[in-house]
Amino acid sequence: MAELVPLPIADPLGELPPREPETGRVALGVRLANFTAIIVPFLGAAAVPFFLWGRGFHWTDLGLLLVMYALSALGITVGFHRLFTHRSFETYIVVKFILAVLGSMAVQGPLLKWVATHRRHHQHSDTLEDPHSPYRRGPGIRGLLRGAWHAHIGWIFQPDPEDLSRYVQDLRKSAVLRVTSALFPVWVALGLVIPAVLGGLLTGTWTGVWTGLIWGGLVRIFLVHHVTWSINSACHLWGRRPYQSDDQSRNNWVFGYLAMGEGWHNTHHAFPTSARHGLRWWQIDMSYWVIRALAALRLAWNVRLPTKESQAKKRRKS
């Protein structure tokens, strides 16, 4: 089994060049593409009881939903987040490519843009420059609701900083990652075609093609979207804060389980480069289990974990 390396947690970005001021609006084509990526999976989920009523929900549909959910969600949590954004472990370029493709199938944007946005979030967490903080949206219940909406989905329609690419200068050095990111539409299409084809092959019917597309494609994307986005919204509003951090990140057990360990969000913000977010025995962290499995197969190494000393130092006094 590959050795796990307990490392003190440090900023993976190092020194960043000064930011340029943000200007401009989101182009209409980009806004329409974002709207389509959000609304089509929602419509697919909403159409299920109308178009499939009386036709039954088969084990094939459930299997495609669960498998495609797990693969695309882990592409985000293990790949986009813990590997590419925070460099919490190292692996071979082939594994990086596979994780980048699986994360792209979650339809949350190209690899380089996703990583750049998330690194910016960590640099400015819960400040005015945080791309998706639920705070700073006004006082009272109205401000809370506006903030929750912005953190969950509204931020997607805001303009990107003109210098967003400065956050991914390290990743842009890899031709494989640049090309994989540029081919984002191809991976999105593949994430819809695969469950449709499998549905048809496993059932031997054209109906299986459509139900595979709906359950393993559209419904799966809808669920991954909103579970992942809840880390931005719910996990900065509700939950416990066992560790000191410079923001309002919180451990939320619901999304700790649903989001493959990402819901232990306060722990993550306290130790951002840790490959493990659920540090307590009862905090299930499936993403970390996958990283451990890769390490056991000698496909991952330099797996970063916070030291006992750093955990004790950052733990809040009860």
Structure tokens at 44: 């697919």
- The conformational region for residue 315 under phi > 0 = left, psi -120 to 50 = alpha, else beta, is beta
N-term to C-term CA, the chain:
37
Q: Phi and psi of 4, rounded to 5°? A: -90, 130
Bridge partners (DSSP) listed for residue 304: 5
Q: Among candidates 40, 5, 6, 12, which has minimal Cα distance to 273?
A: 12
| Position 56 confidence tier, pLDDT thresholds 50, 70, 90 | low
Q: Give residue-wise pLDDT tens across range 204-252.
A: 999 899 999 999 999 999 999 999 999 999 999 999 999 999 999 999 9
| Position 95 confidence tier, pLDDT thresholds 50, 70, 90 | very high
Considering only residues 4 and 122, tell me which one the structure prediction assigns the higher pLDDT.
122
Please report the pLDDT score of residue 237 as a whole number: 93
Q: Which of 92-101, 123-132, 269-278 has the lowest mean pLDDT?
A: 123-132
Task: Please give the C-alpha separations between residue 276 and each of 172, 244, 257, 297, in angstroms, as whole numbers.
Answer: 26, 17, 14, 18
Q: Give residue-wise pLDDT tens across range 288-307.
A: 999 999 999 999 999 999 99
Instruction: Give the residue-averaged pLDDT of 265-275.
Output: 97
Please report the pLDDT score of residue 9 as a whole number: 41
Burial class (CB in 10 A: 0-12, 13-18, 19+), 238: middle
Asked if residue 303 lies in contact with residue 5, where contact means CB atoms within 8 angstroms, the answer is yes
